[in-house]
Amino acid sequence: MCRKSATVCLIKPPVLEGVAGLPLVERLRVLPDPPRRRGVRHSFVAVLLIAASAVVAGAHSFAAIGQWAENAPQHALARLGARIIGVLGVRVAPSTVTIRRVIALACLGGLADLTGADPTGSDAVSVDGKAARGSRHGQTPAAHLLAEMTSDGRTISQLRVPDKTNEITCFTALLEPYELTGVTVTADALHTQRGHVRFLVQEKKAHYLLVVKANQPELHHRLRSLPWKGVTACRYDRETGHGRRETRATRALTVTELGLDFPHAAQAVRILRHRTDLVSGKVSRQTVYAITDLTSQQASPQRLGQLARSQWTIENRLHFVRDTTFREDASKIRTGHGPENMATLRNLAINTLRTAGHANIAAGLRHASYEPFTRPLDLLGIA
């Protein structure tokens, strides 16, 4: 079984050691070439590079990738390593059918790992899942993808949650290959599991900050019952944006002597958020509880508030971008590993544009589309 899929892999996943600093082309060469019954006409790496370049240029579907490849000039195809035919050395791009078949067969775990960011040295890593709604077909449920992201907005990797199960079963598999010593891992309430915490602290030597809700009723009740009114360690943050004004009060309380009965728990956190809609004037209030192994010396209320914000950021900087900018939920890609690998190519495009300094991904895609056969290749480092 592949660690990234519910299906049996026909190829061995690549080893990640020593590939983090390599250019994209060299990293993709590590990826095993899937077997193809009709033989090999186009280089496996060339097809993946063409697909990645087209996505950076704004392609949302296999048809759009195929159209981009069909219109690519000779100099672009030469940089991408496209097939050569005839004595004149004419470069020929793969067809849409070939591109679809290759992406659907490519090792989804290896592709996600090799094209993602390296978390080594990151301050925090956030874990969250998202369903690609358009991939649902008949009785086959939509592909549910669990992703991890650094605090600066770079996607590390992702995996598809096997059908008939949930994200809990995939948490350790997602994080296992990476060096996380000293990194704080944040996740929503679904992952507030004792097994996850032991894995992070004892095996990966990492820290955690996990949200606590009603899925852990006893722990949630104990956190609510703590003497929050007497807590003096508090941080207030105020900001205005996205049509609302928000005030957050973050309180932290040391719980090592309070018998909270949760592995490695050092502090409990309560975040009280007041939001005012600047258009309607409607005021809302929300209280969020969290727990962490970080001591008061390691993390102040300000630091804990920043970590909590980094968990909410994955929704805005990854899932929201894929939904709105790349129209992922409207995509009808359903066969093979197509939904997962297309999402991986979108993650690669987002990482590439952010690394190039584009804070707005939609604006970055427009910038690349003005010179669609040179700028995407330059951004991806394809010589």
Per-position pLDDT tens, the chain of length 383: 355 444 434 344 565 666 778 899 999 998 888 766 666 688 999 999 999 999 999 999 999 999 999 999 999 999 999 999 988 889 999 999 999 999 999 987 889 999 999 998 899 999 999 998 888 877 778 889 999 999 989 999 999 998 878 999 999 999 998 999 999 999 999 999 999 999 999 999 999 999 999 889 999 999 999 999 889 889 998 888 878 898 999 999 999 888 888 999 999 999 999 989 888 889 999 999 999 999 999 999 999 999 998 888 898 899 999 999 999 988 888 888 999 999 999 999 999 999 999 999 999 999 999 999 999 999 999 98
Identity of the residue numbered 100:
R
DSSP-assigned states of every residue in 69-96: HHH--HHHHHHHT-EEETTTTEEEPPPH
The closest of 184, 188, 185, 199 to 166, measured between CA atoms, is 188
Per DSSP, 24 falls in state H
Residue 160 vs residues 85, 97, 272: alpha-carbon distances, Å: 38, 24, 33
The closest of 36, 48, 46, 39 to 11, measured between CA atoms, is 36
Place of tokens 């480092």: 381
d(CA 245, CA 30): 48
Sequence-distant (6+) residues with CB within 8 A of 102 are: 34, 42, 44, 47, 48, 51, 94
> Per the structure block, which two tokens stand in for 294?
């970080």
d(CA 219, CA 226): 11
d(CA 342, CA 60): 9
Q: Is the pTM of this model over 0.85?
A: yes
